[in-house]
Amino acid sequence: MIPFSLGEWLLADMQQSVSKAAPGALRRYRSVYEGIRKAILSRRMSAGIRLPSSRALAEELGVSRNTVVAAFDQLLAEGYVTAATGSGTYVSDIGRGENIRPKPVRLHRGPALSARGRRIVAAPGGNTHEIQPFVPGMDDFSVFPSKIWQRLQNKYWRESPPELLDYAAAGGYQPLRRTIANYLSISRSVRVAAEQVLITAGTQQSLHLCAQLLASPGELAWVEDPGYWAARKVFEACDLTLRPIAVDAEGIHPAAADLATSPRLIYVTPSHHYPTSAVMSLPRRQGLLDLAAGKGAWILEDDYDSEFRYSGRPLSSLQGLDSHDCVIYLGTFSKILYPGIKLGYLVVPADLAESFKTSLYDTQRPGQVMLQAALADFIEQGHFATHVRKVRQVYGERRESLVRVLQSILGRHAKLSKEASGMHLVIELPDAASDLHIAAEAAKQGLVVRALSSYYLGQPQRRGLVVGYAYVPTERIQHFGSLLGNIVKKALR
């Protein structure tokens, strides 16, 4: 066997060094270090072998002695070699091939994802994120007062107070909690004190907290059908059993068979049902509150878009009617400001506030206090109210133009959802129509509308197209609206 020469091995290795991109000295150091490490791991140098002196190796390789010393030091620190004072450097035991090389093991891994994981990814909801005319849920960012927003944030960044760079403890930035409590009690008749408000990273996180804290695995969550797919995902991720509950023109409408079950959570969008736009009637609200109280269920009221109201006043919140403390109210800034802000809030009954705060902090470790401070100023200085007015005016015009053009083309062939609110409307189609087919036809023309049937968990009961108008510039509504209207008309013939 040819005796192993570390110097020759390293020289050969340095020719094809993995570190060619590094600058000269660093590259030489990495080559020496990696070469020796490789020789040890591959058992070309076994335990107990003495390394050449750093001086001799440096000369043989034509590099500086410092380079070799640095490589030896690193190998020493990582345990590949040991140094005995005065007597040199030796390959250590831990560097033995048999210790490092994995023993042959029979893998028993099974599927990579858990059963829950497989359920979560089985029907992806929104990772094809299209920005196209009529895509539901998309706002028009050009309406957002970004200059004012930037100025408010800059003010805090200039000062960078340490408490705003820390994690968000105690339910969020106190002045923001206060100002949200104020806003909700005035504009949504929510019965709330600042202590009941928690700032979250949006509705998704709020729902997650509620599901984790209030429901045990296997318990039942009633969800509206059709309904918001992302809420269902959260409940599935918390191992809850979903029960789809029908929705009609007055909101959620449990059948006798549903009433025989005992939900732990009831998720609803009473102000503006997602996606049909139905507003829950007062008798239904009263009925749902009584039902929840009687069954010991929690109602999760998702009030995601109540700011978008183009005529009249909205019905006040369900939470405001609740005398049993069984409603958790959820709001978000994703729609009215911009989705990436990822700030929302929860209003919980006073006796649950501490538990929610603890859970939020311990399981999520929230942050973004600086952003929360800028948002508190944005609201307190009146910019939020101005923005809401502007959005109502701009989106209201867009809605009106779209309704006009669709009605003129579709006439009696299709009905439009009548609620003048939100960021989308629904073109209600006859039962025999294939909304999936029409949505696919529209996509060929670059229009992203969603089939109402795709929002059902159970058997689809109605057909329609969910059409977002907020993102389409006012001057283009006529053009895209007539394109869509004609696609629908053709399909219905």
Least spacing, CB of residue 302 vs ligand PLP, in Å: 5
By CB atoms closer than 10 A (0-12, 13-18, 19+), residue 275 is buried
C-alpha distance from residue 85 to each of 74, 82, 89, 90, 178 (Å): 17, 10, 9, 11, 67
Assigned token pair, 259: 């009433």
Toward ligand PLP, which CB reaches closer, 302 or 428? 302
User: Are the C-beta atoms of 79 and 94 separated by less than 8 Å?
Assistant: yes
By CB atoms closer than 10 A (0-12, 13-18, 19+), residue 281 is middle
Toward ligand PLP, which CB reaches closer, 33 or 228? 228
Least spacing, CB of residue 383 vs ligand PLP, in Å: 20
How far is residue 40's CA from residue 80's CA, in Å, rounded to a whole number?
A: 7
Toward ligand PLP, which CB reaches closer, 137 or 172? 137
Toward ligand PLP, which CB reaches closer, 58 or 472? 472
Toward ligand PLP, which CB reaches closer, 129 or 493? 129
H/E stretch holding 47: none
Least spacing, CB of residue 277 vs ligand PLP, in Å: 12
Binding site for ligand PLP (CB under 6 A): 137, 202-204, 228, 269, 274, 302, 304, 332, 334, 339, 344
C-alpha distance from residue 29 to each of 34, 50, 56, 71, 122 (Å): 8, 20, 16, 6, 49
Least spacing, CB of residue 301 vs ligand PLP, in Å: 11
Toward ligand PLP, which CB reaches closer, 204 or 417? 204
Least spacing, CB of residue 194 vs ligand PLP, in Å: 20
Toward ligand PLP, which CB reaches closer, 363 or 381? 363
Least spacing, CB of residue 268 vs ligand PLP, in Å: 10
C-alpha distance from residue 459 to each of 386, 449, 454, 463 (Å): 43, 20, 10, 11
Least spacing, CB of residue 30 vs ligand PLP, in Å: 45
Least spacing, CB of residue 29 vs ligand PLP, in Å: 49
H/E stretch holding 480: helix 474-492
- 405 CB-near residues (< 8 Å, 6+ apart): 477, 478, 481, 482, 485
How far is residue 475's CA from residue 470's CA, in Å, rounded to a whole number?
A: 12
How far is residue 49's CA from residue 79's CA, in Å, rounded to a whole number?
A: 14
By CB atoms closer than 10 A (0-12, 13-18, 19+), residue 182 is middle
Chain residue whose CB lies nearest ligand PLP: 202
Toward ligand PLP, which CB reaches closer, 72 or 304? 304
Toward ligand PLP, which CB reaches closer, 315 or 409? 315
Least spacing, CB of residue 94 vs ligand PLP, in Å: 49
Least spacing, CB of residue 363 vs ligand PLP, in Å: 17
Toward ligand PLP, which CB reaches closer, 222 or 304? 304
Toward ligand PLP, which CB reaches closer, 15 or 127? 127
User: Are the C-beta atoms of 206 and 363 separated by less than 8 Å?
Assistant: no
How far is residue 300's CA from residue 318's CA, in Å, rounded to a whole number?
A: 10
Look at residues 407, 479, 414 and name the one whose alpha carbon lies nearest to residue 447: 479
How far is residue 464's CA from residue 451's CA, in Å, rounded to a whole number?
A: 6
Residues linked to residue 329 through DSSP beta bridges, in sequence order: 301, 347
Look at residues 308, 478, 272 and name the one whose alpha carbon lies nearest to residue 390: 308
Least spacing, CB of residue 182 vs ligand PLP, in Å: 20
